Structure formats: C-alpha cells, structure tokens
A = this chain, B = another copy of it.
Amino acid sequence: MEECELLEAYFDRLWPIMRSITGDGVRKTHDILNEIVPLDRTEIPSGIKVFDWTVPKEWVFREAYLIDPDGNRILDAATNTLHLVNYSIPFKGTMSRSELDNYLYSLPEQPDAIPYVTSYYRPRWGFCLTHAQREALPEGDYQVVVDTDLIDGSLTLSECVLEGETSEEVLLSTYTCHPSMANNELSGPLVVAALAARLRAWPNRRLTYRFVFAPETIGAITYLSLRGEHLRNNLIAGYVVTCVGLDTELTFQQSRNGNTLADRAARNTFEKTDRRFNVRPFHPTGSDERQYCSIGFDLPVGSLLRGAYNQYEEYHTSLDNKDLISFEALSESVSALEEICRTLDANRTYRNLEPFCEPNLGSRDLYPTLGGTISDQDIKNRVRAMLWLCNACDGETDLIEVSEKCGYPVSLLSTLAEECVDKKLFAVSG
C-alpha cells in the first residue's frame, strides 16, 4: 500500500477515539501509532510536580449524552467526541432547557460547526453543539449523563529513538490530546510516526533521531521534566509538527533564537527545492515550542505547519475533519521533514588541507582536463561547486553555510566534499 493510503487507514481508526490530555483514549491512540513504528511508553503518575505544574488527574470517559424532552438521545459523545467538553467532571441529573443553556457551547458565527472546548484546570462539565441545533432545542426537561471520572492515574508519553553514529540528536515532537479533529491534530502524530518509519529504514544514520508523542502543553512540560537536561546536552535541531494536513504551502516557524541549526537546515532545505513555503518568526503563543523555547531551555526547536493554527476557519471545530485534509499533503509533509533530516545528517564541517591558492583538482582527477569544452551543465555545476567547497571549507563553515553562499544543495556539496576526503584533500573537522 502506498504511504498515503496507509495514513488514511490509520486516520480512520484513530478518528473516533475520545482523546484528552490523559486517559485510555491516549493509550489507544499510542497503541495504533505503535503499529507504524515501535514506541516506548512512559506513564507519569498524577500529582507529580513538573516545573511550575502538576501532572493532572487521569480522565476516565465512559459515555455522555442528553435525553431531550421527547426522549431522544442527543449530543452523544459516541457520535462525535466534540459534543462533550473535554475533561468534563461527572454529572447526572435533570434540568430545564434554560438551566441547561448554561452548560452549552456553540458558535453563533459558524452555526453549522460544533466547537472544540476543553476545561482542564477548572472543574466543569458541558456539551458542545452547532448553533443551529442549539436554537432548535425545545423547552422542557433534559436528562444529563456525563459518565466520567477524574482519578489518580497517569499521563501517557511515548517516544521512539533511532540511534545514529553520534549522540547528537534531532527531535520531532507532536501531540496526541486532541479528539476527533483532522488537521489539528491527527495530522501531526501520523506524519511524525510515518517519518520515524522512513528514517528507521535509512541504511545508516549519522545523527540520532527522537520522536515524541505527548499531550500538548502539560505533556511537553512533563517530557521536558524527564528529558530536558538530556536535550540541552544533545539536541542540535528539533521541530514541533502540527497542522500539516492541508493542501497549502509549507510554513516554517523559526525557533526563538531564529538562527539555530534547526532554522538554517529547514530554510536551506526548502529554498533548494521547488516547494512553495514561507518562513515566519517565532512567537510563543502557539503549541509546544512554548515549552521547548522557554527561557530556561531555549532549545533549537522550530515548527513545521501547513497554513497555521487558527488561521483557517475550521480550526478547533467539527469542520476540521477528513474532508478538510489531503493524505497526499500528509505524505508530502513526511517528505519535507525527511529532506530536512537528510540535510542535517549530511551537514558536516570540512577543512581544505590545501588552503593557499586553489588545489590542483586536475591532478587529483577532480576536474575535467580540457578547458573550454565542458558543455554538460552537470559537469559545470560539479566544477563550480567543487571550487566553492575549496574556497569555503575552512574548518569552521558547515555545508549549510557553503550552500547559502553558492546556491548548490547540501546533498551535492556533501557528495563532493566526501570525494575530497577520499582524495585526502579535505579533512572532516565537525
């Protein structure tokens, strides 16, 4: 099966699960992702202090619905997980239409969309519905069933570490707390898992690659409480992957620093392909880059998106569904990330061992011998790229920087630089 068909099949299985920041929905989701690539799971008990936060109670969801005055079961979370305010406390009772209204959430400006509402940090229950449906609810008594629990359980994190020749690491991070929405956010976990599967199949990896699946915000915070010190010592580049399912141009959001290896590799990779993409500065109001790029960590972590959070009108509603996304776009997102990883893996620093005047490339069989007749564009490019490498590889300039100077992609530069190493003209210096 092709990758995009596979992704669609996994999507269909993941869609109906009631996910939240904790609970069995998350575990079932990770079970399925584990079929794409093997994951190591960690459970962090409720109540553990993680920096300024506390691991929350585990949410147990069994069922939730209303019985309307005519006896119909409506707003059943089994039909659409968005009907229940996520992380709702349990409640059973009967109330009038007008009293019930205090517990209903809808969007007057998008009357056909069910909003996605959460209440993690204040005990609440509630139901979400389209504004059209809300306006049509008849007077009368409603029976409310919110069969949930908040228990001392745990928060679920999974990761996959693909070891390479060095301990230098690349991080890919995604979140698995959103229930039935497609772009935000089944796209991120599917793309990251598929990327891990691809890199696992690489014949060799210079770098170590780490793939993280956790609930948004509290999950990233908890993860950093476990691995933050390790990442500070080993991480050379990372990417939060989110909202990567739309058939629009790629967006690379820079790290807080703006010029880390993560930034340089992503920008360079996209510039050297035909991709449509845009680059935007860091801002700490989005997803888990808020944690990775907090003052104390300030890790080299950017974000990859297509479009952007809440810049599409279906954002955080039931309209963010399978119709909205494209599995070709998902697969292309995997490819874009894989190319960034290839750039990172190839990005070494070389030293030209003949720094005074240009080396005699001809004597080393690295240069065509008949001047004036090189007609083939590939040979011309190869020669020019070689001259650039000789002029730029001073032992401090990495291949991404050489690529920025000369315009040739890191892949070509890497091939040529390794030839120069074979001919004893270059040494690897980093």
Contact = CB atoms under 8 A, between A and B. Distances in A.
A49 B358 CA distance: 14
Nearest to A50: B357
Interface string A238-277: 0000000000000000001000000000000000000000
A360 B53 contact: yes
Contact of A369 (B52, B122, B373): B122
Contacts of A370: 117-119, 122, 124
Interface of A: 50-53, 105, 115-122, 124, 217, 220-221, 224-225, 228, 256, 283-285, 290-291, 293-297, 316, 352, 354-360, 362-363, 369-373, 383-384, 387-388, 390-394, 406
Contact of A357 (B52, B116, B363): B52
A59 B386 CA distance: 29
Copies of this protein chain in the complex: 3
A171 B360 CA distance: 25
A391 B294 CA distance: 6
A357 B105 contact: no
A224 B356 contact: yes
Contacts of A355: 294-296
Contacts of A316: 372
A387 B284 contact: yes
A369 to B, nearest CB: 4
A217 B390 CA distance: 15
A285 B387 contact: yes
B372 A52 contact: no
B391 A358 contact: no
